[in-house]
Amino acid sequence: MTEQFHEIMFNLLNDSVVLFLDVRTQPSYLPKHLNFHQYITRCLATHQDFTLPELRQQFNNDALATEKKSYGIGRYGEDRKALLKGSQMEKEGRTIHLGIDIFTQRCEAVFAPASGTICLSGYEQGERTYGHYLVIEHKNRNKKWYSFFGHLSGNKKTSGKVHAGEQIAVLGTTEENGGWSIHLHYQILTYKPHAPPHGYCAPDAFPVESVQNPDPRTVLGPLY
C-alpha cells in the first residue's frame, strides 16, 4: 500500500500512548498508571475480576488522563492470554492479536482511512464479541484490500460508497460493543470476509495469518 491515508480517529498519531497488554513482555520501566501487570495484581488482591469492562475502562481512563492523551494503543501481534482469561478465544488457544486496538474514554467518531465501499455491516450478539461492526472494500492500483472496524455503536453507515476522511461510525458503549471497554478494533484483510473475521489467532498460526491480516500500521502510521 503506497497511497496516503486519512487518520481513522482525530489526531490519532499525535495524541496516543501505547498500552502494553502482554504482561510477560511488558517493559519494566512503566509507571503505575500504565502498568497492566500491576493492574491485574491489584484486582486479584482485592478479589476483583480484572477482565470486567468497567474495571478495564477505569484503567484506561486513569492511563489516558494521567498521560493527557486521547487514545491508548493496543498492539498488533501481541499475546493477550492474560487479558482473554475465561473467554472462548483463550479456550481455543487464539491469543495473538490480529488488529490494533484504540482505547478511549468516550465514544469517539471513526473515519474512513481511504475511499471505498461498505461491503459488510452487522451486529454480533453475545459477550466478548464485536458488537456492531463494518467492513470497507478499498481498491489501490487494481488491488483490493479491506478495513474491518469492530466494537462500534449502532450509529454507523451500513452500505454505500465512502470517501477518505468521511465519518463512518461512532464507538460503542459496553452495552453495544460486545461487552468490552470503549475501543475500536481495526484490522486489515487481504481477502473479502463474509462474516466478522477472527481478531485473534493461535501463536503457531501467526506467520500465515499475518499475511492475510497485515500490520495495520501500514494504514494507521507509526503509532509505536
Q: What is the mean pLDDT of residues 26-38?
A: 95
Strand partners for 136: 118, 147
Give the model's pLDDT for residue 2: 57
At residue 85, the pLDDT reads 85
Q: Which residue has the cell 511488558?
A: 26
Tens of pLDDT, residue by residue over 129-139, are 999 999 999 99
Checking if the pLDDT of 43 tops 80, the result is yes
pLDDT for res 1 = 53
The residue-averaged pLDDT of 111-123 equals: 98
- pLDDT attached to residue 102: 98
Which pLDDT tens digit goes with each residue over 66-100?
999 999 999 999 999 988 988 889 999 999 999 99
Percent of the chain with pLDDT over 90: 92
Mean pLDDT of the chain: 96
What confidence score (pLDDT) does residue 124 get? 96
Least confident of 80-94, 146-160, 172-186: 80-94
Give all domains of the chain, ordered by start, each with its CATH number.
16-103 (no CATH), 109-218 (2.70.70.10)
pLDDT band (50, 70, 90) for residue 197: very high
List the grid coordinates of 52. 470486567
Chain centroid to CA 182: how far?
Answer: 10
Q: Which helix (H) or strand (E) holds 168?
A: strand 167-171
